[in-house]
Chain A
Amino acid sequence: VRRSVVPFVVVAATALVALLVYGLTATGESTTLDDAVVRGERPVAPTRALPKLGGGTGSLADYKGKPVVLNFWASWCEPCEAEAPALRRAQARLKRAGGTVLGVTVQDATPDSQRFAKEHSIDFPSLRDVDGELGKDYGRTGVPETFIIDRDGRVAAISRGQVDDKFFEDNLRRVL
Chain B
Amino acid sequence: VIRTLTVFLAVALAAASPALAAQPRTSLPDGEDEVMCPSCKTPLNVAESPQAYRQREYIRSLVAQGLTKEQVKQRLVDEYGQDVLALPEDDGIGLAAYLVPVAAVAGLAALLVLLLPRWRRRARQQPVTAAAAGPTVSDAELRRLDEDLRRHDR
| Residue ID in chain B nearest A142 by CB atoms | B39
7 shortest interchain CB distances as A-B pairs: A76-B50, A131-B81, A109-B79, A76-B51, A23-B93, A107-B38, A130-B81
- Partner-contacting stretch, out of A1-9, A40-48, A83-91: A1-9
Cβ of A130 and Cβ of B80 under 8 Å apart?
yes
A112 near B54 (CB under 8 angstroms)? yes
B96 at interface (Cβ–Cβ under 8 A)?
yes
A10 CB within 8 Å of chain B: no
Q: Is the CB of A76 within 8 A of B54?
A: yes
- A82 in contact (CB, < 8 A): no
Interface residue tally on A, bucketed by range: 20 to 34
Q: Is B42 an interface residue (CB 8 A)?
A: no
Q: How far is the CA of A75 from the CA of B51 in the complex (A)?
A: 8
CB-nearest residue of chain B to A12: B107
- Residues of B in contact with A, size category: 20 to 34
Taking beta carbons and an 8 Å cutoff, which residues of B are in contact with A? 38-39, 49-51, 53-55, 58, 61, 78-83, 92-93, 96, 100, 103-104, 107, 111, 114-115, 118-119
| CB of B26, distance to nearest CB on chain A (Å) | 17
Binding site for B on A (CB under 8 A): 1, 4-5, 8, 12, 15, 19, 22-23, 26-27, 74-78, 106-112, 130-132, 142
8 Å CB contact of A75 from B54, B92, B93, B114: B54
For B80, list chain A residues within 8 Å (CB): 107-109, 130
**Given A76-B53, A109-B55, A132 contacting B119 (CB threshold 8 A):** no
